[in-house]
């Protein structure tokens, strides 16, 4: 090795390290047990060939000066063949990068690899000539590689997808990637021409080779910064330390007696062992801590934190606290969870809206990967999901929240450029955190269900007691009321008697009392249901048609949204009573509202049930009254008995359905009745 060869070796070493790190990361991906991909297989071989080519350059530059030797010829041949092979493999990988993958045909493969094989044969023959010089064969290799390199650039620009550049793990080439490579190549060529004009052609060629290699590596290296930066720093530090040991060894050997040289050799070997064994582990840990803000204690801290969360907090609060701790411990910009029911929770800097808009729900989400999202899983996602993940800066930091009971949703990290899960131990730690979170959510859900069942049982016992008492009271009151009503009817029919108007008022009030007694008895009665397939659209149309004159008389416009084919398993008469009750409540709510007054009946089919929705644009219900709206004897109307909605709830729950009220969009109230679908005949 000469001093003149040290600078070229150093220049070649930088891109050689970058490409070796990229190749090692791709080979390490095989150990994860994820599915294979033709793109990954070819790209893995291409990066390995580039790393071999640059390593051959380093070795050739470090050879001692003198005539060509067998070692020099072998290294030169490896350098030239790996150059042509890497370009052929690279062009093949670029062809496979677009999603979905479209493997090239046999003719394309034959032309691509046939040209590379022909160039390789020509280079081998050139090296086999008597006393070949290194420079002519290297020039021949560059001329052979030039058409393949130009084809790679054209192939990359032709297949690159337009769109903003961002961190992603799908290994999909975008037009900004090609532009970045192009500008890097232009800068490298400009520097080469300047050096050539200054008479520094040999050094210019070295800079040209190293610059081209770095320009091509730039898009991939930027997406793997979390791997490239620590590995380059660690490797460069280790090489510098080893070089220092060798320089010190050489300097001391020149001044020591021959009898002391064995001791010096042992000391140098021990120093090198310390540098490359404990020194490497210490350097990697320090780099991860200082550059990536990672340490071995992070996973233990996250697991310990989840153990401190109580299921009594509820699923939403557990998610919020887990996200906050994940941001604090891993020092990522932001995190988010999209639950299976569509609710989204975010903490920190996270662009959640685009992801929520396109993320599938229900049965559509079953097609998503059931493990953490690696590069192959990301390539299998639809384009809209990949774009939303890129906009949210989620690279390799997403996983489903799966428990043995159910899928809760998905957890995402805004990993940026440095925070992706590139190492398998990071992936395993992240998956362990998500799995433990899923178990915690299971516990919170089971606890909430248990509490709900206990409350429902207590409520049912309370309602049963109220119903029994109401039935007794109604029965005791109904008989004297009926007698008084009969007498009032007789008095009202005698036109000659005084106080006829008062008699009619008494009769109306007694009839109102009797109607309320009837409601009490209906609330207490346990009717048998006659279940049958009921077309909700037809039922809503008939009911609304019967009530439309009364609604129009009150200045209310009624609308119906009823697609055909929504069939529920229900008692037709009971369900009609429920709908009439809801429409009359809407009419009462709109009585004091300004025009225009609207009520809409909508029928829906989805999420495993048939739904009937009644929406008005009235004043709505106060938020604190919504939870009590279906309780017996609770009413927001001054003259209401509080039994109408309680009877409706009783009837719906007897069908195995649910009834809920929520604020309508803008103003008003929406009551949704959900019933089981009728089984297909």
CA distance 149 to 167: 26
pLDDT band at residue 291 under the 50/70/90 scheme: low
Question: Which DSSP letter does residue 32 get?
Answer: G
pLDDT band at residue 320 under the 50/70/90 scheme: very high
In terms of Cα–Cα distance, which of 525, 668, 532, 499 is closest to 596? 668
| Range of lowest pLDDT (64-73, 100-109, 435-444, 647-656) | 64-73
| Range of lowest pLDDT (3-7, 72-76, 143-147, 177-181) | 3-7
Both structure tokens of 370: 């059931």
CA distance 341 to 411: 14
Q: Which residues pair with 335 in a beta bridge?
A: 347, 413
| Range of lowest pLDDT (59-73, 150-164, 358-372) | 59-73
Averaged pLDDT for residues 304-331 = 89
The pTM is what? Answer: 0.64
Q: What is the DSSP string of 233-269?
A: HHHHHHHHHHHHHHHHHHHHHTTS-GGGHHHHHHHHH
What would the pLDDT profile of 189-209 be if each residue is shown by its tens digit?
A: 999 899 888 888 888 888 988
**pLDDT at 1 > cutoff 50:** no
Residue 462: what are its φ and ψ, rounded to 5°? Answer: -65, -45
Does residue 419 or residue 98 have the better pLDDT? Answer: 98
Compute how many other C-beta atoms are within 10 angstroms of the C-beta atom of residue 270. 11
Q: Of 60-64, 259-263, 561-565, which has the strongest mean pLDDT? A: 561-565
Helix (H) or strand (E) holding 610: strand 609-616
Task: Tell me what pLDDT residue 528 has.
Answer: 67
pLDDT band at residue 357 under the 50/70/90 scheme: confident
Averaged pLDDT for residues 603-628 = 82
Task: Tell me what pLDDT residue 509 has.
Answer: 66
In terms of Cα–Cα distance, which of 584, 573, 580 is closest to 543? 580
What would the pLDDT profile of 471-491 be if each residue is shown by its tens digit?
A: 566 656 666 666 666 666 666
Task: Tell me what pLDDT residue 513 has.
Answer: 66
Q: Is-contact 56 119, C-beta < 8 A?
A: no
Q: Is-contact 242 272, C-beta < 8 A?
A: yes
Task: Tell me what pLDDT residue 155 has.
Answer: 86
CA distance 39 to 57: 27
pLDDT band at residue 134 under the 50/70/90 scheme: very low
Task: Tell me what pLDDT residue 493 has.
Answer: 66
pLDDT band at residue 502 under the 50/70/90 scheme: low
Does residue 626 or residue 78 have the better pLDDT? Answer: 78
Task: Tell me what pLDDT residue 321 has.
Answer: 93
Averaged pLDDT for residues 359-388 = 80
**pLDDT at 516 > cutoff 50:** yes
Averaged pLDDT for residues 459-479 = 61
> How far lies 287's CA from each of 230, 232, 280, 292, in Å?
6, 10, 10, 7
Does residue 104 or residue 466 have the better pLDDT? Answer: 104
Task: Tell me what pLDDT residue 133 has.
Answer: 42
Q: 3-state class of 574 per DSSP?
A: helix
Residue 559: what are its φ and ψ, rounded to 5°? Answer: -130, 155
CA distance 263 to 249: 11
Average pLDDT, the chain: 80
Helix (H) or strand (E) holding 221: helix 201-223
pLDDT band at residue 235 under the 50/70/90 scheme: confident
Task: Tell me what pLDDT residue 529 has.
Answer: 72
Question: Which DSSP letter does residue 174 get?
Answer: B
Task: Tell me what pLDDT residue 99 has.
Answer: 78
Averaged pLDDT for residues 106-120 = 91
Report the relative pairing of strands 597-606 and 556-561 from DSSP bridges.
parallel
Averaged pLDDT for residues 600-613 = 83
Both structure tokens of 3: 């001093």
The CATH number assigned to the domain with range 532-676 reads 3.30.565.10
CA distance 43 to 94: 8
Averaged pLDDT for residues 106-134 = 80
What would the pLDDT profile of 394-451 be if each residue is shown by its tens digit?
A: 877 788 999 888 889 999 988 776 656 566 777 788 888 899 999 999 998 888 888 7
pLDDT band at residue 337 under the 50/70/90 scheme: very high
Task: Tell me what pLDDT residue 479 has.
Answer: 60
Task: Tell me what pLDDT residue 366 has.
Answer: 81
Cα atoms found within 13 Å of the Cα of residue 156, Cβ hemisphere only? 24
Q: Is-contact 35 235, C-beta < 8 A?
A: no
CA distance 213 to 499: 109
CA distance 602 to 589: 18
Q: Of 296-300, 610-614, 639-643, which has the strongest mean pLDDT? A: 610-614
CA distance 126 to 122: 6
| Range of lowest pLDDT (114-123, 449-458, 607-616, 654-663) | 449-458
> How far lies 353's CA from each of 322, 343, 349, 350, 465, in Å?
20, 11, 12, 9, 49
Where are the chain's structural domains? 3-166, 224-292, 296-525, 532-676
CB under 8 Å to 33, separation ≥6 — which residues? none
Q: Is-contact 503 566, C-beta < 8 A?
A: no
Averaged pLDDT for residues 24-47 = 81
Q: 3-state class of 499 per DSSP?
A: coil
Task: Tell me what pLDDT residue 422 has.
Answer: 62
Report the relative pairing of strands 556-561 and 567-570 from DSSP bridges.
unpaired
Q: Of 153-162, 294-303, 486-495, which has the strongest mean pLDDT? A: 153-162
Determine the number of helices (DSSP H) and then strands (DSSP E) in the chain: 20, 11
Q: Is-contact 424 295, C-beta < 8 A?
A: no
Q: Does the domain at residues 296-525 carry the CATH identifier 3.30.450.40?
A: yes
Task: Tell me what pLDDT residue 411 has.
Answer: 92
**pLDDT at 554 > cutoff 80:** yes
Share above pLDDT 90 across residues of the chain, in percent, rounded to a whole number: 13
Share above pLDDT 70 across residues of the chain, in percent, rounded to a whole number: 79
In the block, tokens 């989805």 appear at 606
Task: Tell me what pLDDT residue 85 has.
Answer: 92
């Amino acid at each position: 090795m000469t001093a003149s060869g040290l600078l070229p070796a150093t220049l070649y070493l930088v891109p050689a390290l970058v490409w070796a790190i990229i190749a090692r990361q791709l080979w390490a991906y095989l150990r994860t047990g994820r599915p294979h991909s033709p793109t990954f297989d070819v790209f893995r071989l291409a990066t390995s060939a580039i790393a071999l080519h640059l390593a051959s350059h380093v070795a050739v530059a470090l050879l001692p000066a003198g005539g060509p030797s067998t070692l020099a010829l072998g290294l030169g041949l490896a350098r030239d063949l790996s150059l042509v092979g890497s370009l052929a493999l690279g062009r093949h990988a670029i062809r496979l990068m677009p999603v979905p993958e479209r493997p090239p045909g046999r003719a394309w493969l034959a032309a691509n690899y046939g040209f590379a094989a022909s160039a390789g044969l020509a280079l081998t023959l050139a090296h086999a000539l008597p006393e070949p010089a290194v420079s002519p064969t290297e020039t021949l290799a560059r001329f052979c590689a030039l058409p393949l390199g130009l084809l790679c650039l054209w192939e990359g620009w032709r297949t690159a997808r337009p769109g903003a550049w961002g961190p992603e793990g799908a290994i999909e080439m975008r037009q900004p990637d090609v532009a970045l490579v192009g500008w890097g190549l232009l800068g490298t060529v400009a520097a080469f021409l300047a050096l050539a004009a200054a008479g520094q052609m040999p050094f210019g060629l070295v800079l040209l080779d190293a610059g081209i290699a770095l320009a091509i590596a730039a898009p991939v290296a930027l997406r793997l910064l979390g791997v490239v930066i620590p590995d380059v720093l660690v490797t460069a530090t280790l090489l510098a330390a080893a070089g220092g040991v060798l320089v010190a060894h050489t300097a001391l050997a020149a001044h020591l007696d021959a009898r002391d040289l064995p001791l010096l050799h042992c000391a140098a070997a021990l120093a090198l062992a310390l540098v490359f064994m404990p020194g490497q582990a210490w350097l990697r840990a320090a780099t991860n801590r200082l550059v990536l803000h990672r340490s071995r204690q992070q996973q233990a801290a996250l697991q310990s934190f989840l153990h401190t969360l109580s299921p009594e907090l509820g699923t939403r609060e557990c998610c919020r606290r887990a996200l906050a701790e994940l941001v604090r411990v891993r020092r990522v910009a932001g995190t988010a969870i999209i639950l299976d029911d569509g609710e989204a929770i975010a903490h920190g800097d996270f662009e959640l809206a685009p992801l929520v808009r396109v993320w599938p729900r229900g049965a559509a989400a079953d097609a998503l990967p059931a493990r953490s999202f690696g590069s192959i899983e990301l390539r299998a996602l639809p384009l809209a999901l990949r774009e939303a993940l890129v906009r949210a800066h989620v690279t390799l930091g997403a996983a489903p929240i799966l428990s043995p009971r159910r899928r809760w949703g998905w957890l995402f990290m805004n990993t940026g450029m440095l925070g992706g899960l590139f190492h398998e131990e990071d992936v395993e730690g992240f998956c362990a955190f998500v799995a433990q979170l899923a178990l915690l959510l299971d516990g919170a859900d089971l606890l909430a269900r248990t509490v709900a069942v206990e409350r429902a049982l207590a409520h049912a016992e309370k309602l049963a007691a109220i119903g029994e008492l109401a039935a007794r009271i109604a029965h005791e009151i109904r008989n004297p009321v009926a007698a008084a009503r009969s007498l009032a009817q007789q008095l009202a029919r005698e036109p000659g008697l005084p106080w006829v108007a008062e008699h009619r008022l008494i009769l109306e009030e007694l009839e109102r009392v009797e109607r309320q007694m009837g409601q009490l008895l209906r609330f207490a009665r346990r009717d048998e249901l006659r279940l049958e397939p009921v077309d909700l659209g037809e039922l809503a149309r008939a009911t609304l048609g019967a009530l439309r004159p009364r609604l129009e008389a009150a200045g209310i416009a009624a609308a119906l949204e009823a697609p055909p084919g929504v069939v529920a398993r229900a008692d037709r008469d009971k369900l009609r009573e429920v709908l009439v009750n809801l429409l009359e409540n809407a009419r009462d709510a709109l009585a004091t509202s300004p025009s225009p007054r609207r009520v809409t009946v909508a029928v829906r089919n989805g999420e495993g049930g048939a739904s009937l929705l009644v929406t008005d644009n009235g004043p709505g219900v106060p938020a604190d009254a919504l939870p009590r709206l279906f309780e017996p004897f609770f009413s927001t109307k001054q003259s209401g008995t509080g039994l109408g909605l309680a009877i409706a709830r009783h009837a719906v729950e007897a069908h195995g359905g649910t009834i809920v009220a929520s604020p309508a969009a803008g103003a008003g109230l929406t009551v949704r009745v959900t019933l089981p679908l009728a089984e297909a005949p």
